[in-house]
Amino acid sequence: MSNIKIETLTPVHIGSGETLQYGNDFVKGKEDGSSVLGIIDAGKIMKLIGYENIDRWVTAIERKEFTDKIVKAYAPDTTIEDYAKRTILEWSKVKETDTLKEQIHDGLGRPYIPGSSIKGAIRTAVLASLANDISGIEDKLKDKKGKVNAKTIEAELFGKDPNSDVFRFLQVGDAYFGDNYEVAIRMVNINERRNQSFWDESKSQLIEAIVSGDETTFQLKLNIDSYEKVKSKVHPIPICMSSINSLFQAINTHTQMLVEQEIDYWNDRKTDDDKGKIDLYLENINNILQTIQSCEKGKSCLLRIGHGSGWRFITGAWTESLDNFKNV
C-alpha cells in the first residue's frame, strides 16, 4: 500500500445520513472569540444537569426549549465546550429554523472521507473517460424498462460482476482528518428557468464539512500482481488503470474537463447574477484549474468528490454527448 497525501481545495461534505435540528442537536456559541456551533453531547449534559432531571429535560425539549438554555438553568457557568462533543466554525449565519446535514465521523469523532467514496469518484472518472469509446452505447444505456442505466456500460468496461470487476484490484483506505476545525456552510439552489430568481435561498441547506486546506494521508494500492495471477478469469484491465501513474493522469484529465465545462457554464450565466457571486466563484475555480495544470504528470492529481455540485460536475455528463440524450 502507498501512503497518498490528500489536501482539500474546497470544503468537502460526505454525509453521515443524519440531519441535526437546531436547538436540540446543535446550538450556537463562542469559542476563542469565534462563532461556533456545538454538536450536543447528551452524556455531558446529563452530568451537568443531573440524571434526576432527565424528565425535566425531555419536557423542555417537547416545549421546544433550546438545549443550551436548559443547561444554563442547572449549570450557569458552563461554556459550549462543556456540553458539546465537537464544535464547528459558523461560516454561514445560522437561523433557529435550520437543520444541519452531518459530516460522517469515525468512532473517535474524526471527520473522514471513506475509501469507498474515493474509490467511487475514481471509478466515475475512469468510466467517463472510457464510455464514449463503446460502440452502440446509446442502445446499451437503457434497461429493460427503457430507463437510463449504466450497468451494461460498466459491465462492458470493468466486468460483469464483483468477482470479475477490475476495480477489485484497486484498494483504497479511509482518509481521516481532524487537526483543523470543521465548518458549517450554506448551500442554495440555482433556478435554471430564466423567469425565476437565479439564487433560490428559500430552500437553503446548512452543511457540515471538512474545511478547505486540510491535509492528511490515506492508503492506496493498485494490485497488478494479483490481477496478473487471475487475469484469465476477470475483465481486462483498462490501460488507464495499468499503474498508479496512468490512473492519476486519467483522473486529472477528467477533472480538468469538468472544471473547464464548469467555467464555460458560469461565464454564460454571469448576466443572471445580481449579487457578484459568480465572479468570485469563477476566480476560485480558475485557481483550481491552474492547480490541475500544475500537477506533476503521473505524480499528483485532483479528484472531484463530495456533495452538492450537481450531476454534471459529478459525472462529467458524458451522456450529454449521445445522440439520443434527450430521450433516455
Per-residue pLDDT of 147-202, as tens digits, reads 656 677 788 888 889 999 999 999 999 999 988 889 999 988 777 666 666 777 77
Radius of gyration of the chain (CA): 23
| Of 22-26, 260-264, 268-272, 297-301, minimum mean pLDDT range | 268-272
User: In the prediction, which pLDDT does 131 show?
Assistant: 75
- Round to the nearest angstrom and report the end-to-end CA distance of the chain: 41
DSSP assigned state of 307? S
CB 37 within 8 A of CB 90: yes
Give dist(CA 116, CA 109) in Å, integer.
19
pTM for the model: 0.88
DSSP assigned state of 180? S
Give the confidence band of 138 by pLDDT, cuts at 50, 70, 90. low
Half-sphere exposure of 135 (CA within 13 A, CB side): 0
Best CA proximity match to 154, nearest among 126, 174, 181, 180: 126
CB 140 within 8 A of CB 156: yes
Give the confidence band of 143 by pLDDT, cuts at 50, 70, 90. low
> Look-up: residue for cell 465546550?
81
Residue 289 has pLDDT above 60, yes or no: yes
**Residue 285 CB partners (closer than 8 Å, separation 6+):** 259, 262, 263, 266
